[in-house]
Structure 1
Amino acid sequence: MILWLTTFAFSIASALLPFLPIEVYILGAAAADPSVGTSISLGIAAGAGATVGKIIWYEAARRGAESKWAQKKLAKPKVKASYEKWAGRMQGRPWYAAGVIFVAASAGIPPLLAMAAVAGILKMPMWVFIPTVLVGRSIRFTLLFLGVDFAVH
């Protein structure tokens, strides 16, 4: 239970602070208890924690999009062009938006941190954002845990 809670807590921190890589944590945690059941449980814990962290980024972007600071950033040509590109791709296309978020959550391309902020700015429905991130991240982290389990055995 302690390993599960630690994994959940560290994945929240990792989702908020990109310099804390959850993948390195997963290598250590999986080596500590290399079993399939534990790998699946810890993958879900890491996915749930990462989802909590990305919700915070989503909300910060959603609430801060109208701030003077955000408007100043969006006035920069490069930032504005990137924002408009993603906005054009995602607004009014919930399945496309969910697909992009799922790929970001499961494969990391484009980075989920950036896509969580874009989703917040574009006000992607939470009922789409949360399960998409949870499933994508849980799959990613479970596969990483299972990979270590496979390598150890």
Structure 2
Amino acid sequence: MTLFWSVLGASIGSALLPLINIEIILTGAVSQAPGHEWALVIAATIGQMLGKILWYWGGTHVERAPWVNRQLQKPAAKASLDKWHERAEGRPWFTAGLLFVSAFSGFPPYAVTAVLAGILRVPMWIFLVTGTLGRGLRFWVVVFGASSLFGWLS
């Protein structure tokens, strides 16, 4: 049970600070808790989504920061943001697909996508469902892949 909470905490930290690699932590955790793979997947997924909600929330309030607001008024930044707004506007499946792919693959980086989702005012439920599914599937692949590898090595 302690490992569950450790993975949850590390996952929140990883979501907020991308230099912490939750996939490596999960791989190590699998070696310490064989038979508890699902608990590790759930802990990592919940932790990541808790952290990414903060990135999303930050995106919804990004205009309040004077420096960011000045940057967003520059023609290139404004054009880029307008382009993304046009792509997302009225296309929930495109938006959901992009969020899912980013959550699963890490490309584009999910922290960046979370902020962009907040800026574009993507409904929170779309962000949560796609992120949870994408991150959960990603961590399932990592945990069960590592579990299989450790089983094969022993």
| Identical pairs, percent | 40
2:111 paired residue number: 113
Match of 1:30 in 2: 30
The alignment status of 1:100 with 2:104, answered yes or no, reads no
Q: CA offset at residue 46 of structure 1?
A: 0.4
d(CA) in 2 for partners of 1:75 and 1:21? Answer: 34
Higher relative contact order (CA 8 A, sep 6+): 1
In 2: Cα distance, 1:11 partner to 1:82 partner: 31
Other-structure match for 1:144: 142
How many angstroms apart in 2 are the aligned matches of 1:85 and 1:107? Answer: 23
- TM-score after normalising by structure 1: 0.91
Q: Give the C-alpha shift of residue 74 in structure 1.
A: 1.5
Shift of 1:94: 1.3
Partner of 1:47: 45
Residue of structure 1 equivalent to 2:20: 20
Measured in 2, the distance between the counterparts of 1:76 and 1:111 equals 23
Partner of 1:65, secondary structure, is helix
2:11 match: 11
Deviation at 1:148, TM superposition (A): 0.5
Question: When the two structures are aligned, how many residues end up with a matched partner?
Answer: 151
Q: Larger Rg: 1 or 2?
A: 2
- CA RMSD of the aligned region, Å? 1.5
1:104–1:110 Cα contact (<8 Å) kept: yes
Q: Deviations over 1:33-54 (max 9, x none)?
A: 233xx11221121011100101
Q: Residue 26 of structure 2 contacts residue 143 of structure 2 at CA under 8 Å; is this kept in 1?
A: yes
Residue 75 of structure 1, CA deviation: 3.0
2:62–2:69 contact (8 Å) kept in structure 1:
no
Q: Is the 8 Å Cα contact of residues 34 and 152 (structure 1) preserved in structure 2?
A: no
Instruction: Name the stretch that deviates more: 99-108 or 72-81.
Output: 72-81
Q: After TM superposition, where is structure 1 displaced by more than 4 Å over at least 4 residues in a row? A: none
Contact 1:47 1:141 in 2 (8 A): yes
